[in-house]
Amino acid sequence: MSIKLSDTIPGYSNKNYPWDEIINELPMSGTLIEVGTACGLSAVTFAEKFEETGRDYTIHTIDHCVGIEIDGISYTRYQQLEYINQVVEAWDNISFTRCDFFKRYLEPPTVLFLDAAHTYQDTLNILRRMKKAEIILVDDYMPAWPGVMDAVDAFQKSTNKELTVFETAHDNIMSCAMFK
């Protein structure tokens, strides 16, 4: 089996993530905005899965890049940016902006993938700003992240959007909420 770029980038949304179930739910083409690039693992995995399934997407990922710890290893902002550069160089349909989400105006995309601060207020504020996205995916809708769960539940109550939760439990539990 050939090595993919996603095998070499550190990150959280690894092989145990419910990728295939999620990708199946997405339209065949559109734009995807990701808030929370980290080192680019989820962005490149979206690109690989979109290609595998014949989907045509433009992916824009943003992060303020202040350094990050993944699996007990600390990555400086410069290391993050080096990994992100590899991802952007490899895929013509991925672009990256280093910025704070709240300081930019971004047009709501076809798909929003939210994997940023995990606090109640930030999560709810981002969801409100992006409520016109056709599909909203919120990573880590699980008890370990009560801020994310509460914000997703509050958003669901206020919008009445349909909520689906994808879960995968292997060596660790991963979960993602989807609004359609």
Ligand X SMILES: C[S@@+](CC[C@H](N)C(=O)[O-])C[C@H]1O[C@@H](n2cnc3c(N)ncnc32)[C@H](O)[C@@H]1O
Instruction: Name the one range near ligand X by CB under 6 A: 18-26, 109-117, 127-135, 165-173.
Output: 109-117
Rounded Cα–Cα distance for residues 180 and 164 (Å): 8
Candidates 89-97, 115-123, 161-169, 172-180; binding stretch for ligand X (CB under 6 A): 115-123
Which two structure tokens, joined as six digits, stand for 50? 């979109």
Q: Do 113 and 137 form a contact (C-beta atoms < 8 A)?
A: yes
Q: How far is the CB of 104 from ligand X (least distance, A)?
A: 9
- For residue 106 the two structure tokens come to 């971004």
| Position among 32, 83, 96, 115 found at the interface with ligand X (CB under 6 A) | 115
Distance CA 45, CA 118 (A): 21
> What DSSP element (H or E) covers 150?
helix 146-159
User: Considering the complex, what minimum distance in angstroms separates the CB of residue 22 from ligand X?
Assistant: 13
Q: Which two tokens stand for residue 55?
A: 């989907």
Stretch that binds ligand X, among 36-44, 141-149, 154-162, 172-180 (CB under 6 A): 36-44
Decide whether 12 or 141 has the Cβ nearer to ligand X. Answer: 12
Q: Which is nearer to ligand X, 13 or 175 (CB)?
A: 13
Does residue number 47 form part of the binding site for ligand X (CB under 6 A)? no
Least CB distance to ligand X at residue 134 (A) = 20
**Residue 110, CA distances (Å) to 27, 30, 115, 141 in order:** 8, 5, 16, 21
Contact 109, 131 (CB under 8 A): no
Q: Which residues bind ligand X (CB under 6 A)?
A: 11-13, 35-36, 38, 41-42, 62-64, 66, 68, 100-102, 115-117
